Amino acid sequence: MSEQDVLNPKHMPHNPEKATLEGKNKFIGFWFFLGGESVLFASLFGTYLALNDSTNGGKGSEELFGLELVFIMTMLLLTSSLTSVYAMYHMKNNDFKKMMVWLGITVALGLGFLCFELYEFNHYIHEYEFTMRSSAFGSAFYTLVGFHGGHVVFGLLWFISLMVRNAKRGLNLYNAPKFYIASLYWHFIDVVWVFIFTVVYLMGVL
Q: Which residues bind other proteins (CB under 8 A)?
A: 2-3, 6-7, 21-22, 24-25, 28-29, 32-33, 35-37, 39-40, 43-44, 46-47, 50-51, 54-56, 132-140, 142-143, 161-162, 165, 174, 178
Which C-beta is closer to other proteins: that of 17 or that of 73?
17
Task: Report the distance separating Cα 183 and Cα 179, nearest Å.
Answer: 6
Between 81 and 134, whose beta carbon lies closer to other proteins?
134
| Residue 21, SS3 per DSSP | helix
Nearer to other proteins, 108 or 136 (CB): 136
CB of 82 to other proteins, least distance (A): 26
Separation between Cα atoms, residue 164 and residue 27, nearest integer Å: 22
- To other proteins, the closest distance from the beta carbon of 71 in angstroms equals 28
Please identify, using beta-carbon distances, which residue of 105 and 132 lies nearer to other proteins: 132
Residues 6+ apart with CB under 8 A from 24: 18
State the alpha helices, DSSP H only, in the chain: 3-7, 21-51, 61-64, 67-92, 96-128, 136-166, 176-196, 203-205
Q: How far is the CB of 128 from other proteins (least distance, A)?
A: 16
